[in-house]
Amino acid sequence: MSICMVTAMTGVITAINTGLDNGFLARWGKAFIIAWPIAFSLIFILAVRVQRLASRICSRTSSASQ
């Protein structure tokens, strides 16, 4: 999960902020190396809480639509 998220986010943000020129892959790689450990740690710490919140939100939405 963290690798997919970080790959997409750092790629898009790097492309928007600095463009798609010859140094893009190096800048993207640097951003990925910095961002991945942070994202992995946050997912590891917060995953259960976020799943519970999503479950509560989905159960409210489905019961409200019935």
pLDDT tens-place string over residues 3-29: 999 999 999 999 999 999 999 999 999
Query: Could you tell me the residue range of the domain that residue 24 belongs to?
Result: 2-64
Q: What is the DSSP letter of 21?
A: S
Please give the Cα distance from 34 to 53 (Å, whole number). Answer: 28
Please give the Cα distance from 11 to 7 (Å, whole number). Answer: 6
List the one residue out of 55, 54, 12 whose CA is nearest residue 35.
12
Tokens of 27: 């800048």
Q: What percent of the chain has pLDDT over 70?
A: 91
Q: How far is CA 24 from CA 8, 28, 33, 39, 59, in A?
A: 14, 6, 14, 21, 43
pLDDT digits (tens, 9 = 90+) for 34-54: 999 999 999 999 999 999 999
Total structural domains in the chain? 1
